[in-house]
Amino acid sequence: MAAHHFREDKATQAAALLLGLRGQAMSYLKLLKLMYLADRAALLQLGSPITFDDYVCMDNGPVLSRTYSAITVEPDPQHPSYWSAYISAPKNYEVELLGKVVPNDQLSPAEEDVLRTVFTQYGRLSRWELVDVTHSLPEWRDPEGSTLPIEYRHILQAEGWPDDEIRDLVEAIVAEASARELLG
């Protein structure tokens, strides 16, 4: 699987939008599920994910791997992350906005619409109901206590995309990520 060139800024801004819609705090398991569903929806609807994170199957369903680490790994105080500047470390399995205004300059209006739509569709569900929803996704496989990668093509194939369109879209995403890395 090609490296996706994770966009921590976009992941943070997406999480902040979802947390704001929820009332500033939520279970991080629920946040991870909503973020995966939004990234997946953006891939299918917009032809590009929001976060460029790596997707993995875990016991509680698919997650955004680097976002999961941003939540669960204690940040280095010498090198604070963009995420930790705006979103709290977990407390009682919840994360919350830290009270600072979170920029949204990296999210397109279409990405914000996807995030809002996913929240409208799934935000009322509990974290465990969301686990059930993500377990029903065709790309999820039981990792039996480990992790298994999910590639963009797995999602696109499961949704019935033709192989040539999958190849073209994945190539375009990789090219965009590579160009961003060169310019970055």
pTM score, whole prediction: 0.94
Band of pLDDT at residue 140, cut at 50, 70 and 90: very high
Percent of the chain with pLDDT over 90: 83
Tens digits of residue pLDDT in 77-129: 788 899 999 999 999 999 999 988 899 999 999 999 999 999 999 999 999 99
Sorted by where each begins, the domain ranges of the chain are 8-183
Average pLDDT, the chain: 93
CB atoms within 10 A of CB 34: 27
Task: Confirm if 43 and 152 have CB atoms less than 8 A apart.
Answer: yes
